[in-house]
Each structure stands twice: as structure tokens, then as C-alpha cells.
Amino acid sequence: MGEKSEQKKQFILECAKKVFMEKGYKDVTMKDIVEACEISRGGLYLYYGSTKEIFMDILHMETQESDDVFSESMPEEATATDILMLFLKEQKKELLRKKNSLILAAYEFLFANKLPKKENPLKRQFDEAVYILENLIESGVESGEFYCEDAKDTARNIMYVLEGLKITAKTIGISEESVDKELLYIIRGLVIEE
């Protein structure tokens, strides 16, 4: 398969992604994806043999693209607090998003397919986020903005809270107010108020 076929794969992934965002993982059939791509039944099978294959590629694609939150569009003189606030705001936006989210599909996928940790893109994403948060916290401590005994432990704790909020949002539902309250709790545990 040459370059062209790589383009087609990309095209399929884009179309399929919409389907997964709409229907989650388990409910999606090859037929759904065929229809979303507006290609033929057999045509899809030239590139992918199952929804699982497709979803794994989407997951890899997605987790590659992300984490740019921190690097992108951040002014030079931003304080650690600024960055933390921005990060949490992004997370809030993501977890309150009703549509256009792959989270549900990703969870469903991981329920059904226990990946070895090395190949689990969400594991990588989680660990990376912890690492970045840790550095951020340390820099905040240095600059006197934050108080924190162990940056790594705190970073991890924040991530678990965020995961908890995410799954809560998707299962029992959560109000924006509740999210705000929780994020504030995090911030208050960290930032030194004057």
C-alpha cells in the first residue's frame, strides 16, 4: 500500500471517528462505517478487517494529536497558576461536552479489549499528563505560587479526580456547577492565597 492508500486510511478514520463519537464502540458495525465513508462494503475491508482495528488506529491518532494544550497558544509570561487554570478549563470543556467525544467509545473499547499497558494509548496519555502536571506544580512551588509537599503525588491525585469527574459525567451526569466546585477544590489545595 502506497501513499495513496495511506490517505484513504486517513479518510476512513475520519469518517469512522464521527460514527464512534455518535454511537460509542460496541454498537458500531462495519456497515455503519461503510455508510459513513460512502464506500463499498468490500472497499472498507481492503483497509480494515474489523471495527476493532479501525478503533485502535483512531485511538492512536487521537492520542498523538492531543496534549498540545500546554504547548499551544500559551503566552511567554504565563504563571504556573495561569497554565493550571487553562488546563483545568480545557478538561472541563472536554468532560462536559455532550457530543463529539470519543471518551465513551474509548472506555467501551478498553472494557472489551484489555490491551497490554505498553500498547494502551490512554495509559500513555495519562502518564504524560501526570508528568506535565508534576513539572507545572514544581515550577509553581518554586515561584512561590503553590504549596505542595509532593508534586508527583499531587499531580496523580489531580488526574484521578479528573478521571472521576469524566466517568461521572458520562454515567450519572454532572452539572457544570459541580465541576467548578471540584476544580476549585483542587486549586485551593494548591494555590497559596494571599
Distance CA 47, CA 155 (A): 40
CB of 173 to a second copy, least distance (A): 6
> What is the contact mask toward DNA in residues 42 to 61, using x (rule: CB under 7 A)?
xx-xxx-xxx----------
**Residues facing residue 191 across a β-bridge:** 146
Interaction of residue 40 with DNA, rule CB under 7 A: yes
Q: Which is nearer to DNA, 43 or 164 (CB)?
A: 43
Burial of 24 per CB tally in 10 Å (0-12, 13-18, 19+): middle
Q: Which is nearer to DNA, 108 or 134 (CB)?
A: 108
Q: Angle at which helices 151-171 and 103-112 pack, to 10 degrees?
A: 100
Amino acid 158 reads I
Q: Which residues bind a second copy (CB under 8 A)?
A: 24, 26-27, 104, 106-108, 110-112, 114, 117, 120, 122-123, 126, 153, 156-157, 159-168, 170-173, 181-182, 185, 189
